[in-house]
Structure 1
Amino acid sequence: MKKALIITGSIFLFIILVLIAIPFFFKDKILARIDQEIAASVNAQVYYDYDKVSLSLLRRFPNVSATIREFGIRGNEPFENDTLMHLNSLQVDVNLRSVLFDDYPELSGIHLLGGSMYIKVLEDGRANYDIAVDTGDEATAEPSEFRMGINLIEVKDLNFVYDDREMDFFMALANVDMDGEGDFTLDVYDLYADARADIVRVDYEGVNYLQHKRFKGDTKINVDMNQMRFAFSDGDFRLNDFNFDMTGWLAMPTDAIEMDLAFGGKDNSFRSILSLVPGIYNENFQGLQTSGTMDFAGFVRGVYDEQNMPSFEMSLKVEDGMFQYPDLPRPVSDVNMEMLVRNSTSDVDNTQVQIPVFRMNFGQNPVSGRLAVDNLRTYDMDGQLKGSLNLEELTSIFPIEGTELRGTLSVDATAKGRYDSATNRIPAINATMNLRNGFVRNAEYPAPIENLQVHTSIVNNTGNMDDLQVDISQFGFDLEGESISGNMKVSHLKQLNWDGSLHGTVDLGKMMAIFPMENVIMEGKIRADIDTKGRYVDVEAGRYDRVDTRGDVEIMNLYYTDLDLPQGVRIKNAQADFSPNSINLRNFDARLGQSPVTASGSLSNYIAYAMSQDQVLKGQLDIKSPKFDVNEWMTGDDETQDTASLSVIELPRNIDFAMTVAVDEVLYDNLVLQNARGRMALRDGVLSLQDVATQTLGGQVTFNGTYDSRDIKAPSFDMNFKVDAVSIQEAFASLNTVQAFAPIAQNVKGNFNTNFALSGDLGPNMMPVLSSLDGSGLIKIIQAAVEDSRLIQGITSLTQLRDTQSINFRDVVLSTKIEDGRLLVSPFTVRLWDYETSIEGSTGFDGTINYLLNMKVPAGRFGGQVNNLLSTISGAGAGAESTIIPVAINLGGSYQNPRFNLAGGNSIENLLTQAVRSRVDAERGRVEDQIQQVQADVVEQYRAKEDSLKNELKQKADMARDSVRREADRQVEEAKNKAANEARNLLRRGLGNFAPTKKDTSDRSNP
């Protein structure tokens, strides 16, 4: 018996070892199959770590489970910066027998364990999940090498974002868990699905519908893939503590969605509906005392497509509801509400909203109302809201830690009629809202806001829009001995008559302590004494003499910073007085970031600008600063000032300012501009510079031109520069255009003057796009010396000339222009090492150079080469050493790696021999003619090559501009991604604010 047990145990142990070992023997074969299928079917970047792949036969025998850690899919253009999926662990179950013995492996299960998924659809309908390889004609497409035998899909702890910009729909889910079981190989099967998720937010067409909710669903779905029909039964769903079921079906036989779904509350109470109310479903919800009943039901039936909406109905009824927070003495009681929302047509504008009953008691304060809306087109309505709240009682009903409230808030409003802007109709309204003897004190700042008064009435007895009157007859409060008060009355909406005032002082720091705002720092005081009365029709017509706005405003020690303005703005003092025509800025003493600024001037058209989006604010300003750091406003990071971090400055298009500027020192990129003076004008998003002069780079520079930011993806500039006595080496060190187009300046010591016109595009880093530049001008080199240059070394090595260690220039004038990103230098003549030399050529933005040097060198300057050659040429006399040798040098390659050769394939020896023999055999005049002919031939050959280079570089320039445009598009797209990224960051940081704090895990099986 013992022997049999040992044999049996040994066999069992052997089987276990075989099951463990088999996957390792066939690991390479299995992974090769997976890689082969990915390459054949996925048009995206798939990444995973081969060394982190494990195989097992024990998890789901007889399937082999391949577990891939850190698996991800990243899209191709235009989604190259979006990760479609990143999984901590991807487990794929494959039938072992099909891998070892069949032609096609059979996929039987998929497990997504931890990670994130980001689905993105662009405005044009392109989606980042569309990654299947295009096989062309479906009829001839080869079948996949995987067979589908899936019966299990498992998702655990996945964060999911769906960002559909075509539909203007956004959804972010966290901690998604889902188990789906069924025979997915059949055309008709039952899918048993169990899903859970935390809803971060759901938005549609800019409206937020759900935020910070927990969802759970457990249902059976009958799937008919032939009809694309999905039938729901035995469903159990929960949103926070709100339970409901759903039955019916949904089908997609065409592009339209057909549906017949019914839903209703399930085992709910008043407590269930409370869990959906923002602010109530928090850490105190578990201890909330509730009573009352709730009934909920509805349906959705019909077709959903671009033209149609399904009909729907939803009803909600609450009776005798009550809730009371633990440890607080007063409840909200007698909560009764009936609501019916329905639409029996396919037009959503025919939706009806009926709330015939709405009432509740906040402690001893009743609030009641009703509302009926016949449709969403003309909004025929009949509504009422009435109630009075004791604010001190509210703190005994709701947990408001650290805040003390007092005062009485009352509202009494009725509205009946139709809203129709086409016929100038609104409902008849009679509404009053009053806050009396208000008092607010926050534990963070114990000084209270006292005597808070707001008295408002809205009246329209006729239904005519022009008869509407809004009267804020009193507004004001006191804060530590400082008070502010005001009033405003608005009537006749077409003419927009107003009559109001604002008087007093407010301490912003104290207000922020009482009502804090996240990531915002604000302090300082604002004093205002303003009275205003007028009609907007007079503002539109420019009849400012009929608008009576007078008074003054003073800002004292104001400081403001937030996430979008990390540099911060500090206004030590600003004073302005108002008249109907203008605001006169008497004083403005501020620090913008680290830059001190003072200003004075006036603003006009300010009333129209404040009341209408299409009006322009006009002004005349005089601005002064001892030092202004432009870099600080071109990057969001104070610690990084390199050009890679700079970003485009977008100028407002509704401002028309004329400015005089006087700044002692300006920092821009790595330039320091001293004593900058001039005039600037900002109009329609274009900044114009007029005679802006500054001292920089060791000389004087004057600017005239424009910076145009109207196309934020391709901002441009058009400038004229007048440069006097600027250092060549400093210009090279500070200007990327000089580095690109005149790299030899690195080895030149001296100064230059120029009058140069330059235009082009600016990249996303506010640097000129070299490939886009166009310009022309004269450059005068006053005096310069070229030393330690590769060009000099190359010419010396090629020609073996003596005394060529350096080159000196004086009063050389160059005629240049830039076309398609290439600097063209017209022919000019200089004395190069005392040799008459004609130079012309070009430098490309890509660093390529192409120059021709036509030199006239006396034969004797070639040293020992001449003596040897003269002795071999019969008839050569002593004068042969003075024979002029035409030396033409082609200079190509790049400045850092130049290439030198003699034009026409000549050698120095040939040139010397030909020139000396010509001297012996011909008259001097004929020699000069021959030299000129040789040089002309060389120039013709050079220019033919130059034309070819221009064409090549133009293609590169077009490609470079396209690349810059794509980068600008990418950055604009990133700006649009901000909301999605914020949601994704929130998911990554973890979500602990879904409440209640004590998480229900009784039916969750997290790994």
Structure 2
Amino acid sequence: MHANIKSDLNLDKLHASLQFPDFSFGGKWNLDAKIDGTYAKAIRQVGLQKREQEYVASIPTFDIKNTLVDGKFKLAKLPQGLDKIAYRLEAKDPDGQLKSASIAIHDISVQALNNYIKGFISITDFNKIAVNSDLKASFNLADIKKFYPIKQVELAGLVDVNLIAKGYVDLKRNIFPETNTSIVMKNGLIKSNDYPIPMENIQVEAFVNSEKGSLRDLNVKILPVSFTFAGEPFFLNADLKNFNNIKYNIQSKGKLNLGPIYKLFALDGTNVDGFIYTDFSLKGLQSDATNGHYNRLQNSGRLSIGNIQVQSDMLPQPIAIRSGNFSFNQEKMNFDKFLVAYAKNDISIKGYLNNIINYATSSQAPLKGQFTLSSKKINVDDFMVFGSPSSSTATGTSESGVVLLPKNLDVQVLGLVNAISYNKMNIKDFKGDLQVKEGKMTLNKTNFELAGLKVDMNGSYRPINPRRASFDYAVKADSFDIQRAYKEIPMFREMVSSAKNAYGLVSLDYKLGGLLNGNMQPVMPSIVGEGSLTLNQIKFRGFKLLNGISQSTSKEKLKDGEVKKVVIKSHIKNNVMTIERTKMKMMGFRPRFEGQVTLDGRMNLGFRLGLPPFGIFGIPMRITGTPDNFHLKMGKYKEEDLDMDMDDEDSKVYKESQKVQETQAK
């Protein structure tokens, strides 16, 4: 774009020569403009969901001066026009950077009948936003149709605006422009031709004042906002002072039916049929709530909502709030009844939130609370951050992302869930104390049933980024069916591959920790842990390894043998399970084994078959290979390095997560 324009027009003469039939105009118009460079837009991905957003990628340099005096404009079909139109515009950008751009419109004047806009406004430094304005406007909304064609909506009411502001907007540094602003509307009405019910009796009195240009002396008053819509009155009254330590006084009463509002204003989402009902009074000081002086707070009343959808960047699908009844009592907002639906998950929540004022006014303050969460069924896969809205499972090699947790929450939850589906596992009768704090979830005294196991578990879960999370847990389960566990629990199948040919009851007491990938599955080389697996009563059937030992030693009794009360202790690191020396009795023999097994099934085991009657004499051998393709060699066992390290990215993520946990522990 390159332009150098100078123009000085008499608009009255221009209109006289052109004779446009539909409108007339006049005035003296002057333009002096120099423009050089490229104006371009681009698309970038924002947020965890990588939604596309259009932004200005580049702008040209420019220096523009434009004035209009004695301007006028009238549409031929309307009885009145705009007159006394005037302005003086100056806009420049010397280097093509948006932060260097400035625009100022001085001597603004527009009049139509008794309606007018007067004043000036300028904005410089579009990054920090430096504003200087003094604008006044007064309108009778019923007059607008006399000079502007409004066909789809009927407007009425008197509106007065007084906008005075000077200074920077930098909320992070508690900087706000010096301002004295008011907006007043009396006897307003909005009625659409497409929807017969009007919003009427609209009254608005809003004032914003800051004499020193800071959040400390910023005052916002709404005295009040009120209207009647679809036969339901609504009002909101608010007085907010000192946004560094808010002194608040807020009252609201009335009902908003969202469906008619969407139809009245022709907004997208005409299927919305929700409502908001308010009847509350909130009065107090932020520091009193922070410091525990709850007796000084005067918060009471209730709030009800229903059939409302909320979209979060942390979730792939919207949350549908079916009904919510809340009551206010001093520092607490009580969830008396809260029913939400997410995908195919229906959840009921009861409890309370506190620290709400701090949370609303500070990005560092956590939202605190205690809840009881109950549900008939929850599918955890639906909550993965990159999950498909139409499917709860990833396809191909794509990752659905981990389940993210807000870092500004500090809540305790008693979870009561009849059934949980997670990574093709079906958990029943879940009951546990959960704490979500600083982006980490801790499970205490948690018990549930999985594949017939009665499990007691403590653990933690912390998302590191949208595609990785760390976890650790300690689990105990007594006397469960090893075959059912092998078939229904993927991690058990990975760690105890020999369970494929074992039948009977076992017990587990184990601690594990590591990383989860973007499909919420363990990154095997990251797993560390230790514990024991007890073979309460096990019979082997078609176990190739045991049958191979039987054949190599000519001891037929070992084939499809049985064992009881054998405790196998082990520890895991770098994808290798190291098994401590384990002794057992089997069909009169005294087998003993120890060694290493990788989590993908490679073995390096030492085995000694103690011969009857007491196993004093035995046959030593070494077992390598895999359970389906093993090699037996007579002789003593020798430990080998079977470690499998994480890849560089996972190793870096894991080390960083360990540092964070160590810091939090201190």
User: Aligning the two structures, in what range does the TM-score lie when normalised by the shorter sequence?
Assistant: 0.7 to 0.9
Does residue 894 (structure 1) correspond to residue 583 (structure 2)? The answer is no
**Alignment partner of 1:472 is 2:222:** yes
Structure 1 residues 733 and 391, CA gap change in structure 2 (3 angstroms): farther
Which residue is equivalent to 1:961? 650
Post-superposition CA distance 1:233-271 (Å, at most 9, x none): xxxx4xxxxxxx44xxxxxxxxxxxxxxxx43689999x
Query: Secondary structure of 2:556's partner?
Result: coil
Shift of 1:772: 0.5
Give the one of 361, 364, 367 matched to 2:117.
367
TM-superposed CA distance for 1:475, in Å, is 0.2
Match for 1:295: what amino acid? L
Cα distance change of structure 1 residues 760 and 373 upon mapping to structure 2, 3 Å threshold: closer
Q: Kindly state the Cα deviation for residue 568 of structure 1 after the two structures are TM-superposed.
A: 4.8
Give, as a single letter, the amino acid of the residue that structure 1 aligns with 2:293.
R
Note if 1:639 corresponds to 2:391: yes
Structure having the higher helix fraction is 1
- Structure 1 pair 580–269 and aligned structure 2 pair: CA distance change class (3 A): farther
* Pair 1:338 & 2:88 matched: yes
Match of 1:708 in 2: 462
Name the residue aligned to 1:763.
517
Q: Sort the Cα spacing of 1:541 and 1:265 in 2 relative to 1 into closer, same or farther, 3 A.
A: farther
Q: How do 1:160-309 and structure 2 match up within 5 A?
A: 237=1, 245-246=2-3, 263-264=4-5, 293=29, 295-298=31-34
User: What do the CA deviations read for 1:316-344 (whole angstroms, capped 9, x no partner)?
Assistant: 33456666789877665554321224589
Q: Which moved more, 1:367-376 or 1:527-536?
A: 367-376
Q: 2:206 aligns with which of 456, 465, 468?
A: 456
What one-letter code is carried by the residue in structure 1 that aligns with 2:136? K
Indicate if the aligned counterparts of 2:394 and 2:519 stay in contact, CA closer than 8 A: no
Shift of 1:542: 3.8
2:276 corresponds in structure 1 to 526
Percent identity reads: 23
Tell me if the contact between 2:333 and 2:353 (Cα under 8 Å) persists in the aligned partners: yes
Q: Report the CA distance shift for 1:854/1:443 in structure 2 as closer, same or farther (over 3 A).
A: farther
Cα separation, 2, equivalents of 1:425 and 1:667: 49
Shift of 1:625: 2.3
C-alpha displacement of 1:425: 8.7
In structure 2, what is the Cα distance between the partners aligned to 1:627 and 1:422? Answer: 43
Aligned twin of 2:450: 696
1:736 corresponds in structure 2 to 490
In structure 2, relative to structure 1, the CA distance for the partners of 1:855 and 1:325 (3 Å cut) is farther
Aligned-pair distance for 1:800? 5.5
Partner of residue 815, structure 1: 569
1:435 is the counterpart of 2:185: yes
Q: Which residue of 2 aligns with 1:772?
A: 526
Q: Is the 8 A contact 2:262 2:269 kept in 1?
A: no
Give the C-alpha shift of residue 524 in structure 1: 2.4
- Asked which structure has the greater CA Rg, the reply is 1
The match for 1:317 is: 67
Question: How far 1:650 moved relative to its partner?
Answer: 1.5
Deviations for 1:831-858, whole angstroms, at most 9, x for unmatched residues? Answer: 3454321112322134322223222458
Distance in 2 (CA, whole Å) between partners of 1:331 and 1:730 is 83
Change over 3 Å in CA distance of 1:802–1:448 after alignment to 2 = same
Q: Which AA in structure 1 matches 2:349? A: A
CA distance in 1, matches of 2:227, 2:86: 36
Match runs of 1:63-212 below 5 Å: none
- Give how far 1:720 is off: 0.5
Gaps in structure 2 of 5+ consecutive residues = 12-21, 38-59, 658-666
**Which residue of 600, 604, 607 corresponds with 2:350?**
600
Match of 1:164 in 2: none
The letter of the residue matching 1:560 is Q
Residues 270-328 of structure 1: CA deviation (Å, up to 9, x unaligned) = 9xxxxxxxxxxxxxxxx998776451413789xxxxxxxx9974323345666678987
Structure 1 length normalisation: TM-score? 0.55
Q: Which residue of 2 aligns with 1:717?
A: 471
Q: Is the 8 A contact 1:751 1:781 kept in 2?
A: yes
8 Å contact from structure 1 (residues 349, 376) kept in 2 = yes
1:719-758 per-residue CA deviation (whole Å, 9 max, x = no partner) reads 1001122222222223332222221222222221111111
Deviations 1:511-539 (A, max 9, x none): 23334554696432222111122333434
Distance of aligned partners of 1:374 and 1:736 in 2 relative to their CA distance in 1, 3 Å threshold: closer
Q: Which residue of 2 aligns with 1:659?
A: 413
CA separation of 1:366/1:528 partners in 2, compared to 1, >3 Å: closer, same or farther? Answer: same
Deviations 1:604-654 (A, max 9, x none): 222222222211222121222233332322333343435965421111122
Q: Find the aligned partners of 1:422 and 1:590 in 2 and give their Cα distance.
A: 34
Q: Deviations over 1:137-169 (max 9, x none)?
A: xxxxxxxxxxxxxxxxxxxxxxxxxxxxxxxxx
Aligned to 1:784: 538
One of 447, 468, 492 as aligned partner of 2:197: 447
Contact 1:403 1:440 in 2 (8 A): yes
Letter in 2 for 1:581: E
Relative to structure 1, the CA distance from residue 828 to residue 300 in structure 2 (aligned partners, 3 Å threshold; closer, same or farther) is same
Equivalent position of 1:578 in the other structure: 328
Distance 1:493 1:707, change over 3 A: closer
Q: Residue deviations 1:946-988, cap 9 Å, x none?
A: 2x323xx24xx3458359889x9xxxxxxxxxxxxxxxxxxxx
Name the CA distance, whole Å, in 1 between partners of 2:93 and 2:394: 59
How many residues end up aligned between the 2 structures? 619
Name the CA distance, whole Å, in 2 between partners of 1:754 and 1:453: 68
Change in Cα spacing, 1:737 to 1:842, as seen in structure 2 (3 Å) is farther
Q: Does residue 687 in structure 1 map to residue 408 in structure 2?
A: no
Q: SS where residue 610 of structure 1 aligns?
A: helix
1:804/1:349 Cα in 2 relative to 1: closer, same or farther (>3 Å)?
Answer: closer
Q: Secondary structure at the match of 1:552?
A: strand
Q: Are the counterparts in 2 of residues 737 and 770 from structure 1 also a CA contact under 8 Å? A: no
SS of the aligned residue for 2:584 comes to strand
Maintained 8 Å contact 1:561/1:567: no
Match of 2:560 among 799, 803, 806: 806
State the one-letter code of the partner of 1:476: S
C-alpha distance in structure 1 between counterparts of 2:88 and 2:172, whole Å: 33
Secondary structure at the aligned position of 2:205 is classed as strand
How many Å separate the matches in 2 of 1:497 and 1:883?
82
Cα displacement (A) at 1:382: 5.7
* Partners of 2:172 and 2:339 in 1: CA distance: 49
Does residue 554 in structure 1 map to residue 247 in structure 2?
no
Deviations 1:878-932 (A, max 9, x none): xxxx999844443322334x2313234xxxxxxxxxxxxxxxxxxxxxxxxxxxx
Structure with a larger share of its residues in strand: 2
Q: Which amino acid aligns with 1:298?
A: K
- Looking at structure 2, the residues matched to 554 and 420 of structure 1 have their Cα atoms a distance apart, in angstroms, of 35
Letter aligned with residue 264 of structure 1 = I
Taking only aligned residues, the RMSD between alpha carbons, in angstroms, comes to 4.3
- Give the secondary-structure state (helix, strand or coil) at the position aligned to 1:366: strand
- SS of the aligned residue for 1:512 comes to helix
Distance in structure 2 (CA, Å) of the matches to 1:397 and 1:366: 13
Q: CA deviation at 1:656?
A: 1.3
Question: TM-score scaled to structure 2, two decimals?
Answer: 0.80
